[in-house]
Structure 1
Amino acid sequence: MDVLKDLTKKHSGVPQDIKKQLKVYHSLFNLSYGDGKETVYSFTNKKRNQEKRFGRLYATSTSLQGMKKDFRSALAAGVLQDIDMVAAAPSIFKTILSVYNLNSKALDLYLENRDEALSKYKLKEKSDFLRVIFSEHPPQGLHPELMEMHKTLYNVAYPQIAADYPVIVQFSKERSVSVVNKGSVMANVFQAVESIILMEGD
């Protein structure tokens, strides 16, 4: 509480937008602190009057979740433990492909040596690699192995994933009426698997 209070002060050096978030959190925390109240989490997406039951959980009450990583780390140091996965999306999609007896050279190389993969595929950072995974329509001029990965994910694996997990498709975004956004489906598949892994490892 003292650390949080200090960060909200005028000369704390914290950017103004973050300071506003911290002040709101401080006020909310004061209202619930010591009352035995718990942070409540839920799946946020509702569609066709049905509540989503997979993917990431989001706080519906007082929580550090919406703050930037550096501030969460500072405020929770010594109190909470952050559980994360290394190369989560590539690892999960490599496993998903293996379920359907598929593979990808690009995923294999990225998981073996990320720097080598980024250099070979002329990508600046890992977010560029992830963008290929989660974009239904990839950018032009990709390395052939990246194109092979994308085609394997969207042309071969996606129809099987959609058939096996229709509920995930149902709760994914649509490009237009009845035209699902395949990138959204892939993101939801990833979040569903990631959530299970992290909760089991907790």
Structure 2
Amino acid sequence: MAKEKRNSKDQHSSKNEKVPSHVSGIILSSGPVEATPETEIISVNILNLDNKLTKDVIVEIKDWTTSPPEELGKSVLLSGELLDPSDLGYERPEEEGLLSFDPTIHPSEEVDDHEVIMEPLFFQIPPQTQLTVLADFPQAQVLHSNPCYEVRISVENPINLLISSNGLDDKYIPQPGNTVLNSQFFPPLPLRLDFPRNPINKKNKN
């Protein structure tokens, strides 16, 4: 997350408006991932290999440590550049949907405070582009817990998409056992769940 924030508002402010209120396709899941004690960040990387077509995706990162699961706050990077959630159509922190990122959690990072997206992320990945989503994963320091999370990706068409996820420590080093590779996101029987609704489309209609 120690990347320079992308300032090109015109390039991405309208991107999310084109993403439909839901994506009709398949839901891919990492399955339950039991986090190591050193896992503090969850990373999701999605590559759009297509030369011409954008790819509509919904990214959810869920904390299953307690039930029901809670959606974790997400920071979004496109080709390594940090995006402002407000440029994507998400609310400011004084409204619903965003919380402030606390840089003291990772003091080695030299970044300004920025908001994180607390809702499912709706995004259109441009051709030949990498989307990275990062989420802080808080773990209980005193009470015993069974830290568990899930990465869920909804896609209309998974052709020419590559997906992976890693659990990282505070130095962004992948933790053993917390890596989910592309082939592991594609179950023989896709999950049959309701797709999330895009809150941005609803706000635009109002």
Normalising by structure 1, report the TM-score. 0.21
Normalized per residue, the structure richer in helix is 1
Normalized per residue, the structure richer in strand is 2
Normalising by structure 2, report the TM-score. 0.21
- State the structure with bigger RCO (CA 8 A, min sep 6), 1 or 2: 2
Structure with higher Rg: it is 1
